[in-house]
Amino acid sequence: MALRRALHFVFKVGDRSKTATFYRDVLGMKILRHEEFEEGCKATCNGPYDGKWSKTMVGFGPEDDHFVAELTYNYGVGEYRLGNDFLGLTLQSSQAVSNAKRLGWPLTEVGEALYLVEAPGGYRFYLVDKEQPHNDPVQKVCLAVSDLQKSTHYWSSLLGMKVMERNEEKKTVLMGFTDTQLPDLEALMTKENYKILTPLVSLDTPGKATVEVVILADPDGHEICFVGDEAFRQLSQMDPSGNALLDKAMAEDKSDEWFAKHNKQKASA
């Protein structure tokens, strides 16, 4: 049985050009793969849209052993309203801090050797100003919940995460994944009467592996997508042409010209 782990966090983005600059030039991530789709995903991977969209995976290393960001871009959608659920992603990289300072990207010191920087659209990233480790520098993702006890039960007892740290004063819980098979997970959620947004379904990617996914919603409506291990390992192989494919798509999109003309910045949420 494969060990379950957190793979991605999805960000819907409007301005692909500024977003690419942030992840590549400020954070120092690599474009791992880029895919263009002519119609909406049947598992609503791109949200409630049915038009052309793209998916770009960015991270510090291969998806096999790194937590990465999935950047979803819907053509024709320039702005998303930022919610209050995502509180921030923390990573350790003094190089990212230096990059932000060199590029003049707004940077706020919020603690000892800790800086806050925002991606286009307002997504928050916390940079630990220490040498970037050889393994994955991404340390944690923070989500807001309305009932900590209920959410902890859901994520630990039902999803199988392990409680690694609990802080009663700050009302926070830090958790990491263990393992469970997808059909068993779906059956458990059905039994416990929790919402299943997308029952077990197979998703095709042209020229690549077909993966099985189940998409759930936690008590606060956070979407959690679980994917089968074996096919995902095939699908998630790093594509050397990913960087060029993204640049080509952005050049052909010409959305930068529209936003420059209208003096408007795209946002994401």
Predicted confidence (pLDDT) per residue in 126-146, tens digit = 999 999 998 999 999 999 999
Residue 14 burial by Cβ neighbours in a 10 Å radius (0-12, 13-18, 19+): buried
Amino acid 90: pLDDT: 98
With contact defined as beta carbons under 8 Å apart, do 201 and 212 qualify? yes
In sequence order, what are the beta bridge partners of 211? Answer: 203
What are 122's two structure tokens? 């307002």
Q: What is the dihedral of CA 155, 156, 162, 168, to 10 degrees?
A: 90
Amino acid 47: pLDDT: 83
Amino acid 180: pLDDT: 56
Instruction: Compute the distance between CA of residue 193 and CA of residue 64 in angstroms, rounded to an integer.
Output: 32
pTM: 0.86
Identify the CATH number of the domain defined by range 8-262: 3.10.180.10
Q: Is the pLDDT of residue 154 over 70?
A: yes
The overall average pLDDT reported for the chain is 88
Angle at 67 between CA 107 and CA 50, to 5 degrees: 90
Q: Is the pLDDT of residue 269 over 50?
A: no
Q: Is the pLDDT of residue 94 over 80?
A: yes
3-state SS class at 190: helix
Per-residue pLDDT of 104-127, as tens digits, reads 999 999 999 999 999 998 999 999
Percent of residues, the chain, with pLDDT higher than 90: 62
Per-residue pLDDT of 214-235, as tens digits, reads 999 999 999 999 888 777 888 7
Per-residue pLDDT of 176-200, as tens digits, reads 876 556 788 889 999 999 999 999 8
The residue length of the chain stands at 269
How much is the average pLDDT of 136-165?
93
Amino acid 266: pLDDT: 41
Provide Rg for the chain, Cα atoms.
Answer: 19
Q: Is the pLDDT of residue 211 over 80?
A: yes
Instruction: Compute the distance between CA of residue 49 and CA of residue 220 in angstroms, rounded to an integer.
Output: 22
Query: Which residues fall within 8 angstroms of residue 257, CB to CB, at 6 or more apart?
Result: none
Amino acid 178: pLDDT: 62
Amino acid 263: pLDDT: 55
Residue 249: φ, ψ to 5°? -65, -40
Model confidence at 265, pLDDT cuts 50, 70, 90, reads very low
What are 2's two structure tokens? 């494969």
Instruction: Compute the distance between CA of residue 21 and CA of residue 230 in angstroms, rounded to an integer.
Output: 32
Angle at 162 between CA 4 and CA 154, to 5 degrees: 90
Query: Which residues fall within 8 angstroms of residue 115, CB to CB, at 6 or more apart?
Result: 97, 100, 107, 108, 109, 126, 127, 129
Instruction: Compute the distance between CA of residue 45 and CA of residue 33 in angstroms, rounded to an integer.
Output: 16
Which one-letter DSSP state was computed for residue 2?
P
Model confidence at 3, pLDDT cuts 50, 70, 90, reads low
Amino acid 262: pLDDT: 60
Amino acid 76: pLDDT: 87
In sequence order, what are the beta bridge partners of 202? Answer: 212
With contact defined as beta carbons under 8 Å apart, do 93 and 127 qualify? yes
